[in-house]
Amino acid sequence: MTIMQIIFLITASVTLFAALMVVSTRKMMHAAMWLILVLFGVTITFALLETRFFAIVQLVIYIGAIAILIIFAVMLTRRSMNADVPQVNRNWWLVMVSSLALFVGLVTVMSVWEGFFVTARTAPPGGENLVQLGTALVDPNGFVLPFEVASLVLLAAMVGAIYVAAERKEK
């Protein structure tokens, strides 16, 4: 077992444990903190796969922006900050059994696929070729249409968020 494998095993188990804590802890704030640990674990996994770009994106966007945003949202809504309500309802065991069954089923199905056992490919020497990624996003022969549509989706979501959240002057 190489050092890399040991690091991977430790990262993976910490990530999985933290993910479990995100959904099982009672305090929203704690869940947000555990979420940061999960995202950090994913960052390390990306780094182990030698994909620098994705590791940095994961770090900057997910931890730097999204997780912090979640923490702000929790802090600004006082009731959810102190909420200590039960995490599960009566049907929790039913859900657990069915999600476990789903998991086992998916793994069984996927294991018949030869791609399931291929060892992870590392990035080619010289990095992930960011220039290609960048031009593909604005190239008509690449992904310019999905890219523009995605920005339109974000615009609509932004207008909606402002509409829903903004204070109304009248009344």
Partner 1 sequence: MNLSDYYAITPLVFLVCWAIFLLLVDLWIPAGRKGITALLSAAGLLIALVLVLRSGEQVLTAFEGSVVVDGFSVFLSVLFLVSALAGIALAHDYLQRLGLERGEYYPLLLISTSGMMLMTYAYDLIEVFLALELLSIPLYILAGFSRLNLESEEASLKYFLLGAFSSGFVLYGVGLVFAATGYTDFPGIAKAAQNGSLNPTLFLIGAGLVLTGFGFKSALVPFHMWSPDVYQGAPSPVTAFMSVGAKAAGFAALLRVFVVVFPGMSVNLTPLLWALAALTMFVGNIVALVQSNIKRLLAYSSIAHSGYLLMAFVPYGNASVRSDAIAGMLFYLAAYCLTTFGAWAVVIALEKAEGKGLELEDYAGLGHRYPFLAATMTIFLLSFTGVPLTLGFWGKFYLFSTAVEGGFWQLALIGLLTSLISAYYYLRVVVIMYMRPGTPQVQRNFWPLLTSGVGALAVVILGIAPGVLLNLAVSALLKGL
Asked if 79 interacts with partner 1 (CB under 8 A), we say: no
Give the angle subtended at the CA of 27 by the CAs of 21 and 28, to the nearest 5°.
85
- Give least dist CB 2 to partner 1, A: 28
Residues 86 to 105: which contact partner 1 by CB under 8 A? none
Buried b (16+ CB within 10 A) or exposed e, 151-165: eeeeeeeeeeeeeee
Q: Given candidates 78, 79, 90, 168, which one binds partner 1 under the rule CB under 8 A?
A: 168
Asked if 121 interacts with partner 1 (CB under 8 A), we say: no
Could you give the CA distance from residue 113 to residue 99 in angstroms, rounded to a whole number?
22
CB nearer to partner 1: pick between 5 and 135 = 135
Could you give the CA distance from residue 37 to residue 22 in angstroms, rounded to a whole number?
10
Asked if 145 interacts with partner 1 (CB under 8 A), we say: yes
User: Residue 5: in which H helix or E strand, if any?
Assistant: helix 3-24
Asked if 141 interacts with partner 1 (CB under 8 A), we say: yes
- Give least dist CB 89 to partner 1, A: 17
Q: Given candidates 3, 94, 112, 118, which one binds partner 1 under the rule CB under 8 A?
A: 112
Could you tell me the end-to-end alpha-carbon distance of the chain, in angstroms, rounded to an integer?
69
Could you give the CA distance from residue 137 to residue 94 in angstroms, rounded to a whole number?
44
- Give least dist CB 6 to partner 1, A: 29
Task: List contacts with partner 1 (CB under 8 A).
Answer: 109-110, 112-113, 115, 140-146, 149-150, 152-153, 155-157, 159-160, 163-164, 168, 170-171
